[in-house]
Copies of this chain bind each other. A is one copy, B any other.
Amino acid sequence: VKKAPTIRDVAATAGVSVSVVSRVLNPESGPVAPAKREAVLRVIDELGYRPRAAARELSVGHTPTIGLVVADLANPFFAQLADRIVWEARGHGVQVMVMTTQEDPYLEADSLDTLLDRSVGGVIATPTGANVEKWARLQSLGVNVVFVDRTIPELSGVDVVSIENVGSARRATEHLLGLGHKRIGLISGPVSTSTGRSRIQGYQSAHENFSISVDPQLVRDVPFRGDGGGDAVGSLLALPDRPTGLIVANTAQVQSSVRRLVQMGTSIPGDLSVIVFDDNPWTELTSPPLSAIRQPIDMLAVHSLELVLGRMQGKLPAAPRTIEVNADFVPRSSCAPLLLSPTR
């Protein structure tokens, strides 16, 4: 257990001053004689020297690190998102501190404090919806904030990357309406969130296009957290006039909802045609494979990273940007025409 060598050790054994070593490490900061450069590099390798991040950070004032504040790593969607972002970031030489909120505002606040302490230059997050002041404070301290998937409308000045929510929900709904379904359940996120509202709006818009009125009973806005999806499924199917179609538009609740459907032994698409928002690797391994709105996770990752990094380098216009990427509808066998469902 010996202690790591410092820049001074390197300088000493290489017979030069610390500034020379520093310049070898950061070439753009000044010239250095080829001969000495070689010598220094050799010593660095011999000693296994590595600059300490903390010291550098303290000196330069910032760190090539961003924070990633994600709702729940146990959910395939967020896990994959994290995976892609971490991957992409590495390519740009920036580290990522991954934190999870479990949809809890307090944990979220905690995470933000931690990220502040570590003076990250930017944060990519799927916000819980609370902590508005805290987010604002982050911004005022120069931390670039990018929201992905969801957003907080009350907060101005943040970049947002998400899928085209209204359109995606409309398309999913129209697909079922087109199959003849009249009563379509919708499990969305909280109406307090942009995502929740947009998807409900798309759902309604589709109904208008088909001149069908929507039964408010069929729309369930459930929290991201907990087992709201499963419960909503239960109560929707317990309705006297139960729906023949179901759209799970709350990504965080897809697992919970599908689990309940399977537990209840619901015949899909016999009794119920279903579409879920989020095409994770297991969606097509269920029986039957589930039709899904595929969130292009790569695009979400690439764009959000591009935005934070761009801002950190000041290479972007001041105005906050909103990027909406297209989400494909992936039809599979969990949807069937209403008339062909003999059960009802």
Contact = CB atoms under 8 A, between A and B. Distances in A.
Report the copy number of this chain in the oligomer. 2
Interface string A79-97: 1101100110010000111
Most chain B CB atoms below 10 A, which of A53, A57, A73: A73
Contact of A73 (B52, B79, B90, B262): B79
A227 B4 CA distance: 40
A63 to B, nearest CB: 7
A83 B114 CA distance: 17
Interface stretch (A9-17, A215-223, A280-288): A280-288
A198 interface: no
Interface string A216-260: 000000000000000000000000000000000000000100110
Interface string A43-56: 00000101111110
Interface in A270-297: 280-282, 284-287
Contacts of A95: 97, 114, 118
Contacts of A79: 73-74, 76, 79, 82
Interface residues of A, number: 55
Interface of A: 1-4, 48, 50-55, 57-58, 63, 72-74, 76, 79-80, 82-83, 86-87, 90, 95-100, 102, 107, 110, 113-114, 116-119, 137, 140-142, 255, 258-259, 262, 280-282, 284-287
Given A73-B82, A259-B281, A259-B285, 4 more contacts: A53-B54, A86-B99, A262-B284, A262-B285
